[in-house]
Structure 1
């Protein structure tokens, strides 16, 4: 499908009221030309009830699980799985919001070629995006760090329910879900929790198939992402402060290759110096209006 046509006419849908019109017009121009690759962050999913690690000022509000701690400490794995067991039902019940659906619409319009997401919630796929590269993996898959056995998160949840009867009844069901998909629990409840064991090797080193902070993204995934960026006409950064190098590196690569970078997110980003046009707004306020405009 071809990209949307010329831009010499007036915008068919006005820019959202919270957006500076000149920035919106430039964003529209870049996206309308097609060939975009979207790089998405946690700000895409906050309207779906999945919180961000950072506020609009870029300050980290939640201390995430660290890769080294999880791998090296049985107590850390017990704490993670106790919290994640409680939080999973609510995390998994999250549904795509208008921003996710707008990105899928842009793909259907032939304007977005690929989505590189830093999120681990699968909401882009649920919204209808087909060309999604999960940079940091997905929470709905679990892998054994010792024997490599892979299973589904739903299966692990069933094992945990069998091993911890009555555990969910004893916890505070109102505790908010955290960005890792877990909830905060009192230490006494964590200590009483029985973490999952691998059914193949019997070890307790089951890990959600995601990249925790301090871990490394698979090199093959990184190379695929670089290829997508280098072939893009524009890199469209959505809902990310770019504070983490795993996402910021693609902005740097685009700038080095002379590829425009358009950013839609609240607040400033680490990539402000490489940004061609920045729209300081919620993705849910901008993207649906942009899709309606480009369709018009």
Structure 2
């Protein structure tokens, strides 16, 4: 019997406490000094090696290549951010003190194959997402996101890769080239025709199709259950919180939930992909909800679900961002997802200086910092466990002063 394909499950094991590098970075002021030391070479003209320059020249001929400044690394830093940078915006993370995997041991995200194959799984997903979307929609970028943009404005950072799906980075700094590695929640994408659809419009349709759920949502908003992402506070009001706008209600009647079909497929049914002729059947009930007799027209959040492959263009863009940089700084990520961890591994293989600003441990960080010399003051490597929203703006201010003096 053929085996089912293996899925890469979320890395949920406890991570060891970080080894602070340099040791002076164990305080906030020391971490700021070390981060300034790490980032300051990006204020200077590039001293990129000949081999790196040649590689970048080859990359710049690709139509997918975009450096934001016409090509070349320019000695700039690449930022790689994760859920930790959005905690100050009121969103939950995964593995922090109040993270989903820390406090909700039974949490299991939906997998791509489940969403695609099961109408019941989609009803459960959209019911939970319907309730959680309100809090995500009203959240805004914080000072750490703004600091990332400021680092781009002064020429220290050339591009940014984010694992986050909250769209805070492109909102806070549209001028800074940003690769959203795991997609975004602001839109949906049709699994059949690949058209995108605004989430706000979709949310309004969910409300119309599910008046009882809409009334419950209004009740939760009135009692303040959705005013916080703190799992303990929400649990007291009968809710469990998960990242990415997902609210869990114990014993909820998820089977009653309805969701709309792709409007593009309804208006113009696409041709069958199997070459058998004819079009894909997409139909709705009398209220406009997707009918399980349909052969397509299912809308999915434009995020990369567990078990789903990152689009080739996105993967290539992320790899080229690594190749185009001279150093990489990880902010607010434990690198527990392989798609992010492998990018830092690539940077290490290219002998790039690596920095990590993250509260708590990072997956396999010994491999990144095991060969750091004792004399390092932050220039070649930095590892600190501080609040990004507090330290990054101060790092920006110091670098701005340094640039002004230069």
Decide whether aligned partners of structure 1 residues 188 and 228 sit closer, same or farther in structure 2, where only a CA change above 3 A counts.
Answer: closer
* 1:232 counterpart = 2:278: no
| 1:274 match | 368
- RMSD over aligned Cα atoms: 2.2
| 1:132 match | 178
Does the residue aligned with 2:160 lie in a helix, a strand or coil? strand
In structure 2, how many angstroms separate the alpha carbons of the residues matched to 1:212 and 1:18? 37
Aligned length: 281
37-46 or 138-147: bigger deviation? 138-147
* 1:137 to partner: Cα distance: 0.7
Give runs of ≥4 in structure 1 deviating > 6 Å. Answer: none
Q: Is the 8 A contact 1:42 1:52 kept in 2?
A: yes
* 1:254 counterpart = 2:359: no
Q: Over residues 142-169 of structure 1, what are the superposed CA-to-partner deviations in whole Å (9 max), with x where a residue is unaligned?
A: 1111222321111211221221124222
1:89 aligns with one of 134, 142, 161: 134
* 1:266 to partner: Cα distance: 0.7
1:183 aligns with one of 247, 251, 254: 247
Q: Is the 8 A contact 2:329 2:356 kept in 1?
A: yes
Q: Is the 8 A contact 2:127 2:254 kept in 1?
A: yes
Q: Is there any run of 5+ residues in structure 2 with no aligned partner, and where?
A: 1-23, 43-75, 230-240, 267-281, 283-295, 370-380, 402-406
| 1:196 match | 260
In structure 2, how many angstroms separate the alpha carbons of the residues matched to 1:161 and 1:59? 27
Q: Is the 8 A contact 1:16 1:285 kept in 2?
A: no
Q: What's the TM-score once normalised by structure 1's chain length?
A: 0.88
In structure 2, how many angstroms separate the alpha carbons of the residues matched to 1:41 and 1:121? 11
Q: Over residues 4-23 of structure 1, what are the superposed CA-to-partner deviations in whole Å (9 max), with x where a residue is unaligned?
A: xxxxxxxxxxx9984372x5
Q: What's the TM-score once normalised by structure 2's chain length?
A: 0.65
| 1:170 match | 216
Q: Is the 8 A contact 2:38 2:382 kept in 1?
A: no
Q: Is there any run of 5+ residues in structure 1 with no aligned partner, and where?
A: 1-14
Higher Rg of the two aligned structures: 2
Q: Over residues 69-109 of structure 1, what are the superposed CA-to-partner deviations in whole Å (9 max), with x where a residue is unaligned?
A: 21221111101111111111211111011111110111111
Q: Is the 8 A contact 2:90 2:139 kept in 1?
A: yes
* 1:205 to partner: Cα distance: 2.1
